């Protein structure tokens, strides 16, 4: 598996310069004070002031720094050195006090000490992980007793589709070995000159939820959403502020889910 993880790390190192410059992430607006977090996670976590927050797979740290602006004591984790260089520069530029740790999430216990009031992850994160049992152990290890774990993520059903053709293209259940594609651009910049290997794993709802419950997390809230908070798929139309759907799909399908859990 290390070979696949390393290829993905190279991919995200290459993506980062395009993402930082893209309109998709609204970085200029963020620097001027805009909170770019979406309603799902803002409503799900509520007031984070004074709480310690661990953000798993934080990319270049923009969401981490939004939580920091809201008063949380934040630590962001990612395996991309390029992304974390951008995150640390952004943190310094804005005069914030977030910390950033370079690590594979599944090996985080070797690279970070402490425990947190909140563990958070979101949107396009867990599909890059081969083993959700190990991921759930990481979540539980770093979450304080009585603390809150929150995930907002694209729905497992959505990952079965070829988004361009909207046909079934991938397994719903994790088969162990990853699916493989060659990138053509990136969701934040479709015209980016990127053609690299990417490896990803499907995770069913059962696998996601039970891996966490088996590590002592208790479900408090489960939600599913019939829209995406980001226009990161081809051929989407706006159906409200920060809400997009496939333009040629009339049926109500799940785009995103969220879980709010506590460690008991």
Q: What dihedral angle (degrees, nearest 10) is formed by the CA atoms of 129, 135, 139, 140?
A: 170
The boundaries of the domain holding residue 10 are 2-263
Q: What dihedral angle (degrees, nearest 10) is formed by the CA atoms of 150, 156, 158, 160?
A: 160
Q: Are 168 and 264 in contact (CB under 8 A)?
A: no
Distance between start and end Cα atoms, the chain: 32
Report which of 11, 30, 2, 17 is spatially closest to residue 198, judged by C-alpha positions.
11
**pLDDT tier at 193, thresholds 50, 70, 90:** very high
pLDDT digits (tens, 9 = 90+) for 246-263: 999 999 999 999 999 999
Cβ burial 45-73 (10 Å sphere, 16+ → b, else e): beebeebbbbbbbbbbbbbbbbbbbbebb
- The encoded tokens of residue 141 equal 């290890």
**pLDDT for 1 beyond 80:** no
Report the pLDDT value the prediction gives residue 186, as an integer from 0 to 100.
96
Query: What integer best gives the mean pLDDT of the chain?
Result: 97
pLDDT digits (tens, 9 = 90+) for 38-86: 999 999 999 999 999 999 999 999 999 999 999 999 999 999 999 999 9
Q: Indicate which CATH number applies to the domain containing 27.
A: 3.40.50.150
**pLDDT for 113 beyond 80:** yes
Say how many C-beta atoms besides its own lie within 10 A of residue 83's C-beta. 26
**pLDDT tier at 230, thresholds 50, 70, 90:** very high
**pLDDT tier at 182, thresholds 50, 70, 90:** very high
Structurally, how many domains does the chain consist of? 1
Report the pLDDT value the prediction gives residue 44, as an integer from 0 to 100.
98
């Amino acid at each position: 598996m290390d070979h696949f993880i390393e290829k993905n790390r190279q991919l995200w190192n290459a993506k980062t310069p395009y993402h930082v410059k893209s309109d998709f992430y609204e970085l200029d607006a963020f620097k001027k004070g805009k909170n770019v977090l979406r309603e799902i996670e803002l409503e799900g976590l509520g007031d984070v002031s004074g709480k310690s927050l661990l953000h798993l797979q934080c990319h270049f740290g923009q969401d981490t720094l939004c939580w920091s602006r809201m008063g949380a004591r934040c630590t962001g984790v990612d395996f991309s050195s390029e992304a974390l260089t951008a995150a640390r520069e952004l943190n310094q530029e804005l005069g914030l006090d977030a910390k950033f740790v370079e690590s594979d999430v599944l090996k985080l216990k070797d690279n970070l000490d402490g425990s947190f009031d909140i563990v958070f992850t979101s949107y396009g994160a867990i599909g890059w992980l081969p083993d959700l049992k190990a991921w759930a152990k990481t979540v539980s290890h770093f979450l304080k007793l009585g603390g809150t774990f929150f995930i907002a993520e694209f729905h497992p059903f959505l990952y079965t589709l070829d988004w361009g053709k909207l046909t079934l293209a991938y397994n719903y259940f994790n088969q162990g070995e990853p699916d493989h594609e060659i990138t053509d651009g990136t969701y934040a910049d479709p015209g980016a000159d990127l053609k690299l290997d990417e490896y990803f794993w499907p995770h069913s709802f059962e696998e996601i939820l039970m891996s966490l419950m088996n590590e002592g997390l208790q479900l408090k809230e489960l939600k599913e959403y019939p829209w995406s908070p980001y226009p990161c798929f081809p051929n989407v139309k706006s159906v409200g502020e920060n809400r997009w759907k496939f333009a040629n799909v009339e049926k109500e399908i799940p785009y995103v889910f969220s879980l709010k859990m506590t460690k008991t």
